[in-house]
Structure 1
Amino acid sequence: MSRRLLLCTVLALSLLPSGPRSAKADSNSPSWQGPETLGQITEPQINEASGLAHSYSESGLLWTNNDSGNAPVLYAVDAQGRHRGSVRIEGATNRDWEDVASYQIDGRAYLIAADVGDNSATYPECVLYVIAEPDPAELSPSHELFAKPERIIRYVYPDGPRDCESLAVDTTERAIYVISKRTKPPVAYRLPLFPENSGAPLRAETVGPVNGIAEPSGLISRMSVPWGKWRAQVCSLDISRDGLRAAVLTYGEVYLYERREGEDWASAFARGGQQLAAHNLPQAEGLCFSPDGQEIYVTTEGLPAPLLRYRLSQETGQSASGATP
């Protein structure tokens, strides 16, 4: 980034609101603090961090990925952004990996590399690579691990190709969720986590609109940068391990969607979410929950890449219903 562009970025970001705003939030909305900077990703190999997932095998271990045209590799970092190691997915292609998700089923931890990016909405199908999460004890910055996919899930959208940069797993439903990036409003889609092996690409199920994401206005809406005119585009997604909260990352903010008792995600997304304080990152593309669902980590493309954290306030967290550790 040039010095002049960096100066313009800093000045423009200083004009952005620093506190939470939400047309949908009410007195019952949980209180989230932050963001605070935990550290920075400085590993040269991780220069386009486009996704983020928390390990199911080690607390404080995060997985990330580079996007289009890079190696089919997932990278591990700690909560301060320090490089821990990497795993290459054998036989995979990184056409445009835009997110990574983690989940656990029957005591086994897994990662999904999401080859779902499609800027021009022209690719006939999307591909998800599912691997067993590597043993953290085997990770090392000095050598790369290798993993064969346990499953490869191919899918198409019911209404034609879509650009997407987000993917999450709801283990309570055994389902995968993605959200379109460039449609207004964004649209959520659902896939089975364990599809029948028919050989043909799956057809994603339309869940419905993701409402409540604020479009930019004024000077910001005229600036041709991610946090400017494209501020409302969705670029990452995660669902808490108890299946009660979804965090949606845009280039400008983080939004929290909560399911009420007996409610599905279609209703929760349609109702709108709680907007947290602006993250003020130049091109935020990675987000995930902590294991207990009471923290949210966010990072950006580029180097160095700040690693941020939002935290549920202690009073709210104590009264929140059943997040599993």
Structure 2
Amino acid sequence: MGDVVIRVLAAVAASCCLSAVPAHAAGDGMEKLFTFKDPEITESSGLAVSPTHDGVYYTHNDSAATPTFYAVDGNGRTRATYQVRGAQARDWEAMAATKDPATGRGVLWFADIGDNLDGAWSDISVYKVMEPRTLGNATLPATRYRFRYADGGRNAEGIMINPRTGRLYVVSKEFAGSVYAAPKKLRTDRTNVLRKVSGAPIMATDAAYAPDGSSYVIRTYFSATLYKPSGETMAKVTMPELKQAESIAYTLDGKALLTGTEGPRSPVYRVPLPVRAQPAPTPSPARAESTPEPSGKPQAARETGLTANDIFIWLAAAGIAVGAIMFIARRTR
């Protein structure tokens, strides 16, 4: 019955929201990039583009899995399977890929941040793994960073790292979601505190920073929203219809988004960005980090990333969904 409730609510809310919220439509530019062919990839929850290996993508499974990630090619074939030494996989929900500016080495980040009980865990963890120089099955060491939220535990499924500053952010998955900033310098000898800096859309399932640091994106089950580093909304991007949208990443050139879903042989789509959200022809010099701050919008919109119209739509969707759920319940008793 729980699965039925979720599917009904998601379908009704999606149809209401996508029809009423202005968005950039990908149109003919949207394409299926590949399908994961490995039978071991059954719950692709995180997605990242390799910063050093051309045409290579990384993913990992969701909860109840081992600390394992996969390198796949542009045809969806697994090129290598990696175990992460010294890591746990309580509920891996997201990953990110960056490049060390000093060495040029790729750096992979895996976020064990899922908490379906919304605060059951006293702390969460993010693992830092140096990207292998060559592709091949291996066990890789990890650096573990522990975190806790300044305002109490919560569920989360998104992480992102500003490539200009190296600062890590966690995006909570709630009806009133938030973006949390980690300390500028992460410590391994104590728990790092995550502090809220901006609002996020309802039920965010992933997030990513653009390669040039000019924007970031937050994915939900229904669509994706682009933001400036300040937290100001830039555009909403229509996403492909997926069974359970869980992941999002930028392409290396920053001109498109990649998005995936859970399930065996799940697809990954490429969705072009609106022109105004693409990198400028001549990148501007790196500047000091712009920490997301309130944008002057009404309080409700500032805290949840919603407009008053969005809130009305969600309330209406919830009412319709409840009616549908009650009808199904009566039919299945």
Q: Which amino acid aligns with 2:159?
A: L
Q: How far apart are residue 77 of structure 1 and its match?
A: 1.4
Q: How far apart are residue 181 of structure 1 and its match?
A: 0.1
Cα-to-partner distance string for 1:133-166 (whole Å, 9 max, x where unaligned): 012x332xxxx311011x2110000111110000
What is the match of residue 209 of structure 2? Answer: 239
Q: How far apart are residue 278 of structure 1 and its match?
A: 3.1
What is the match of residue 278 of structure 1? Answer: 239
Q: 1:20, 1:275 within 8 Å by CA — same for their partners in 2?
A: no
The structure having more radius of gyration, on CA atoms, is 2
What is the match of residue 303 of structure 2? Answer: none
Q: TM-score, normalised by structure 2?
A: 0.74
Match of 1:165 among 157, 160, 184: 157
Tell me which protein shows more helix as a share of its residues. Answer: 2
What is the match of residue 205 of structure 1? Answer: 195
- What is the percent sequence identity of the aligned residues? 28
Please give the alpha-carbon distance, in whole angstroms, between the structure 2 residues aligned to 1:62 and 1:69. 22
Could you say if the C-alpha distance between residues 60 and 138 of structure 1 is closer, same or farther in structure 2, counting changes exceeding 3 Å?
closer
Q: Which amino acid aligns with 2:209?
A: I
Q: Gaps (5+ residues) in structure 1?
A: 214-231, 260-264
Please give the alpha-carbon distance, in whole angstroms, between the structure 1 residues aligned to 2:279 and 2:90. 43
What is the match of residue 250 of structure 1? Answer: 220
SS in 1 for 2:107: strand
Cα-to-partner distance string for 1:89-110 (whole Å, 9 max, x where unaligned): 0121100000011111111211
Q: Gaps (5+ residues) in structure 2?
A: 286-333
Please give the alpha-carbon distance, in whole angstroms, between the structure 1 residues aligned to 2:156 and 2:282. 31
Moved more, 168-177 or 93-102: 168-177
Please give the alpha-carbon distance, in whole angstroms, between the structure 2 residues aligned to 1:148 and 1:39. 29
Give the RMSD, CA atoms, in angstroms.
2.8
> Residues 1-325 of structure 1: matches in 2 within 5 Å?
16=15, 22-23=21-22, 32=26, 34-105=29-100, 106=102, 107-121=104-118, 122-135=120-133, 137-139=134-136, 144-149=137-142, 151-184=143-176, 186-192=177-183, 194-197=185-188, 199-210=189-200, 213=201, 232-257=202-227, 259=228, 265=229, 267-268=230-231, 271-312=232-273, 317=278, 322=283
Q: Which amino acid aligns with 1:132?
A: M
Q: TM-score, normalised by structure 1?
A: 0.76
Cα-to-partner distance string for 1:210-244 (whole Å, 9 max, x where unaligned): 2xx4xxxxxxxxxxxxxxxxxx4111111012111
Moved more, 271-280 or 96-105: 271-280
Q: Which amino acid aligns with 1:126?
A: I
Count residues in correspondence. 273
Cα-to-partner distance string for 1:265-308 (whole Å, 9 max, x where unaligned): 3x32xx33411113210101111111111121111000120110
